[in-house]
Amino acid sequence: MMSCVNAEKYYRLQDIISESFSLLSGSGIDNPRLEAELIISYYTKLNRLQMLLDGAHKISESKREDIIGSVRRRCNREPIQYLLGEVWFYGFQFKVKKGVFIPRPESEFLVEEGIKFASGSEGHKREGLNIVDLCTGSGAVGITLAKEILYSRIYATDISPLSIEQTSWNARHLGVSDRIDLFIGDLFEPLKNRLPAGSVNLIVSNPPYIATSDINSLPPEVRDHEPRAALDGGRDGLDLIRRIIEGSAEFLIDNGCLLLEVGQGQAGMIKDYIGKNPVFKSLEFRYDYAGIERIAILHG
Ligand code: GLN
């Protein structure tokens, strides 16, 4: 009898699920079953219900290697969003790859406050709104504002070329690249010769705001895998926040607004700073669901 030399070896789906589950739980990953299913679903294109119903589904050896390779990376605390290459933000799917900051749910409050500002802004449908998004990262905030505020033009900047490349991809994929201009550079720097003084209605930013000395106590997913430049806000975390507050005055129109995501415990320091440097007429904070003053709302 002839033996088939090239016969591919197959594995049963349910065995791969168990193997992934035990690797992940053995490494202390919080939701091992869910994460195993997400990774397997990514490679097999089966949804979670199909996986449950068809445990005998055959998985090729090479696919098993891809799956277990990803599971091992997750055991090494690589964020699941990098392994799957995507993240949901405000109901939209964004691509995100290693080297680019992963958008967080807290930043959805920036979007909500931006939309609130736009809807209360007289005549924005007539004249349109100019919106600047600083430290755009994957573009989540700026692109979502473009999706939600149709009469808007977005100017997004980031010092990381990789971020701008990712934002450009996301803007195209989500169909707003005709209303978003992207610039590589430090905060307002690339906008200086492009936007006249007093021409911006709204500035939004989720800048790096972690104090340098706190970086080591962040979860390993963040500390070891996300870009440090997107996290490190200097000695007290406020280096970029202060520079954004100072730089905003030149660009904002009268009655314009600056929205900043800030870190836990920073509201008091920001109030003091604004008290001493009255660049804005008013400052209030929007709390997140954890009861943290998360979004600084500054009116010009
Ligand atoms: N919120 C982020 C975190 O917890 C930090 C975001 C930032 O520095 N902008 O890791």
Q: What pLDDT is stored for residue 137 in this prediction? A: 98
Residue 222 C-beta-side C-alpha neighbours within 13 Å? 15
In ligand 1, the atom with minimum distance to the C-alpha of 261 is 9
- The CATH number given to 87-299 is 3.40.50.150
Most ligand 1 atoms within 8 A of CB, residue of 77, 100, 104, 133 to mutate: 104
Ligand 1 centroid – CA 209 distance (Å): 7
180 Cβ inside 6 Å of ligand 1: no
Alpha helices in the chain (DSSP H): 13-26, 32-44, 48-53, 61-75, 80-84, 108-119, 124-127, 140-148, 161-173, 220-225, 239-251, 267-276
Q: What pLDDT is stored for residue 4 in this prediction? A: 54
Topology given in CATH for the domain delimited by 10-76:
Helicase, Ruva Protein; domain 3 (1.10.8)
The answer to whether the CB of 188 falls within 8 A of the CB of 242 is: no
Mean pLDDT for each consecutive 10-residue tract of the chain (300 residues)?
Answer: 66 97 97 96 95 94 97 98 98 98 98 94 76 98 97 97 98 98 98 95 98 98 98 98 96 96 97 92 96 96
Q: What pLDDT is stored for residue 67 in this prediction? A: 98
In ligand 1, the atom with minimum distance to the C-alpha of 222 is 10
Amino acid at 152: S
Residue boundaries of the structural domains of the chain: 10-76, 87-299
Q: What pLDDT is stored for residue 300 in this prediction? A: 87
